[in-house]
Chains A and B, each alone.
Chain A
Amino acid sequence: MYPVAIKEPGLKGTIEHFFKRTYKEIHAVQDVSFEIQPGEIVGFLGANGAGKTTTLKMLTGLIHPSAGSVTVAGHIPFRRESAFLRKITLVMGQKQQLIWDLPAMDSLQINAAVYGLSDRAAQARIDELADMLSLQGKLTQPVRKLSLGERMKAELLAALLHEPQVLFLDEPTLGLDVNAQVAVREFLREYNQRFNATILLTSHYMADITALCDRVLMIHQGKLIYDGSLDGLIEQFAPCREVHVELAYAYHKAKLQQYGDVQSIDGSSVRYLVKPELLTKTVSQLLADLEVVDLAVSDPPIEEIIGRVFQVGQVH
């Protein structure tokens, strides 16, 4: 729970704000309970501001929960004991910890010293991870000269140098191109298998979640609304199928809406989301009333399902 100052837009609002501030208490997260087994990869879903990052910060001990208890790897995170800190790591896609103007190697040496690794152990570890991340030769270049993808991989290397058992990853693929996303994803999968590390990750890219996570937690407005397999989530929402119709010409929107939940209209191309029990009826009505050139039925893309969960706020 934390206070946030509220400001009206415009100059008038600014001046009022200057003299008199209105605060609003905000509960970042409430009633979030879950347990994660060692070696699991768990995806953390939620719209922006749903409380994902807050939860991650509570798990790493940066934030003290105002109520309730948190245990990670047998420690209470907020005490930030040395033994605990050596077991965990936090990676944030939008924040850097490598020193920008120096080669990544220099930052790695600092981390090695801070975590008390011997030179030999550190070198072996760096070689191993650089090999897994195909970063050989990149670590001696200044960080600013690296591509975005290489930089993220170097960040991962720095964060994993001390062989943490629990990885907290906040948007690790943010802003990366598709190839780099795939590379990071594959690395995480391999790392998880090789070291039996536990991974908790948040991502805006559903591809990250589908590729990596057997289990997902969904948070909405600070509340945990779903905990289970990804397939289960889709199944519970699958009651929707997507009907894609190519029409001979563009119809009026009001007319099209008579047949069901219009997802999008693009000229003469229309997409509906339809519940399975209504599927036959809707399709036959469409075919009867409108001049249909082509019609296809499919599962809607996973982003849309998730988007609908966020809109509705609960899983049926």
Chain B
Amino acid sequence: MTDTDPLVRFSGVRKTYGTFEAVKHLDLDIGRGEFVAIMGPSGCGKTTTLRMLAGLEEPTAGEITIDGKRMNEVSAHDRDTPLVWQSLALFPFLNVKENVEFGLKMRGVSKPDRHGRAMLWLERLGLKGFETRRIDQLSGGQRQRVALARSLVTEPRMLLLDEPLSALDAHLVIRMQGVLTRLQKELGITFVYVTHSQSEAFAMADRVVIMGHGEIAQIGKPQEIFRAPKNRFVAEFVGRNNILPGKTPGQEIVVAADRMQVSASDPGEGALPAEFLSEEFAGTGIICYFEGPEGVELKAQVTEDQLENLAPEPGQRFWLTWAPGAAHVMAGT
């Protein structure tokens, strides 16, 4: 076993519930110390994949190995795969410290040792002084950190996270993203992060796995997935992409909204005539929506200044252009 071998390997993994195929066929390697985000719409099989890794579901076919060891028959409590739950699943009848100590207690760690390690992690996550609080006396962000401390206190090689930030307020999400990336870098352990949120996945992950209909649609670095989606499913899921017919029949190209230029007069060849529909403020800029040829919806991101200059009226005609390098030709559909 060397450090370059993957920590986790899914080979030909399939999971069915009756006639429903939650995961059709999954081949995926996850490296040591890697932050992998598994992303996809609901029902795409991402949570099932995570649960199989934690041993909460058994694959119908295929094999999951951790550190080269077959895990299919290993029950959940014998694995070292702590999970941060979407609901957090903190124990309401235990206080903060007892929650954090739980995993150690189950592993038979002595009481003084448990106490020391729990206190260390509580301090590390900024929860010092909250030891004896009840769970219902904590804020959302504090509960989140208790859940993290509870999972990390056993010093696992890998942490699984199932949409852990979905219940938080927007400003807390950004802060927790910082906490998570920092922790992952400091600990050097593998994070497997399941989410439907593109911004969370792209902000934190080294590698993003996009799943759709129980299969992997694309794996790559966030930038790759954003700029070079492999197919229509990924391009649409990632969003803010224009999907246009390519030069040859059946071919499609993708132009990201922030690489689309809008002009009020026809600049000549290659420009796409489009009627303005509406605009939407989107944090980084303003997304303008247009109706292009054959009713295709087009998006272009502009700055506030640009919007003022264009002063678009609904129904007004504009021309959209893009630099040749901005267009990405998709491999399949």
Chain A complexes with chain B: no
